[in-house]
Amino acid sequence: MACGEGPEVKTARVAKDWWRTHFHPRFYTPADRERLARAPKEAAFVARALGLKCGAAVLDLCCGPGRHAVLLAREGLRVTGLDYSRPYLREAESRARRMKAAVRFVRGDMRALPFRGEFDAVVNLFTSFGYFRRQGENLKVLAQARKALKPGGKFLIDVRNREALPPDFAQRSWEPFGRGFELVENYLLRSGRSVVLRRIRIRPGGRKSESSAMMHLYDKKTLSGMLGRAGLKPMRFWGDFSGSPWRKSSRRLIVLARKI
């Protein structure tokens, strides 16, 4: 449900390092039924876009519960999944075992990757970028991805397209959660360059838990510039996982770049 409160919000009560605790199934899961159903189509697009040979080495940067990493491994790629969240990694390992997929999972900070020249491709999907308040820290993530690539390696990043959001963008919805309910809010800060995601879960008896996240949003020009500064040359742009050309109205901004 849309509302018009977003532009009036000047600040947000979001912890500086919100990402340390936000990515936990008790607050947020990127592997719910709906997203799992979409994952095969998304993974198939990623495999086509990268155009890698069987056995190529791929890093799924911020792999979460592994819904893409496992599917890419089943496509014949040698996949490593890296994430900071221990609960997500445990879920990813369990998913790989169930699906009989050989995936190496590593816990780490995307600003300090323990890899150098190891991968034919690095992928960063589902707006797993822009988490750090200082843009220099976000630029460091791209530089680390470049470091992890072999010469001429490919980098595929998928983020929400800032240009498609109106300046008064705000959403609020109530959703069932177990025996209780969850209030989900999304709104832009006044700058229009960051979005806040707030979740409040109300359980039987009135017990409440809350989690908030804030991340930067990017348009084509800004993200292309950051990729260039990190030593990655943008080559192709798409607007969705069907392979549609990118437009200003596209919901997603998917960029394929190559290590310079």
Query: pLDDT for 111-167, tens place per residue?
Result: 999 999 999 999 999 999 999 999 999 999 999 999 999 999 999 999 999 999 998
Across the chain, what does the average pLDDT equal?
Answer: 92
The pLDDT score that the predictor gives to residue 28 is 78
SS3 per residue for the chain: CECCCHHHCCCCCCCCCCHHHHCCCCCCCCCCHHHHHHHHHHHHHHHHHHCCCCCCEEEEECCCCCHHHHHHHHCCCEEEEEECCHHHHHHHHHHHHHCCCCEEEEECCCCCCCCCCCEEEEEECCCCCCCCCCHHHHHHHHHHHHHHEEEEEEEEEEEEEHHHCCCCCEEEEEEEECCEEEEEEEEECCCCCEEEEEEEEECHHHCEEEEEEEEECECHHHHHHHHHHCCEEEEEEECCCCCCECCCCCCEEEEEEEEC
Domain with CATH 3.40.50.150 in the chain: 31-161+218-259
Q: Give residue 26's pLDDT band: very low, low, confident or very high (50, 70, 90).
A: confident
Class of domain 31-161+218-259: alpha beta
**Higher-scoring residue by pLDDT: 133, 179:** 133
The pLDDT tens digits of the residues spanning 46-99 come to 999 999 999 999 999 999 999 999 999 999 999 999 999 999 999 999 999 999
The pLDDT score that the predictor gives to residue 250 is 98
Q: Give residue 12's pLDDT band: very low, low, confident or very high (50, 70, 90).
A: low
- Confirm whether pTM is higher than 0.85: yes
- Maximal CA-CA distance, the chain: 57
Q: Give residue 185's pLDDT band: very low, low, confident or very high (50, 70, 90).
A: very high
What's the whole-number mean pLDDT along residues 34-56? 97
Instruction: Return the minimum-mean-pLDDT range out of 11-20, 78-87, 185-194.
Output: 11-20
The pLDDT score that the predictor gives to residue 19 is 92
**Higher-scoring residue by pLDDT: 11, 218:** 218
Q: Give residue 190's pLDDT band: very low, low, confident or very high (50, 70, 90).
A: confident
The pLDDT score that the predictor gives to residue 211 is 86
Residue 6 has pLDDT above 60, yes or no: no
Q: Give residue 11's pLDDT band: very low, low, confident or very high (50, 70, 90).
A: very low
Which of the listed ranges 36-45, 167-176, 197-206 does the model predict with the highest average pLDDT? Answer: 36-45
Residue 238 has pLDDT above 60, yes or no: yes
What's the whole-number mean pLDDT along residues 208-223? 93
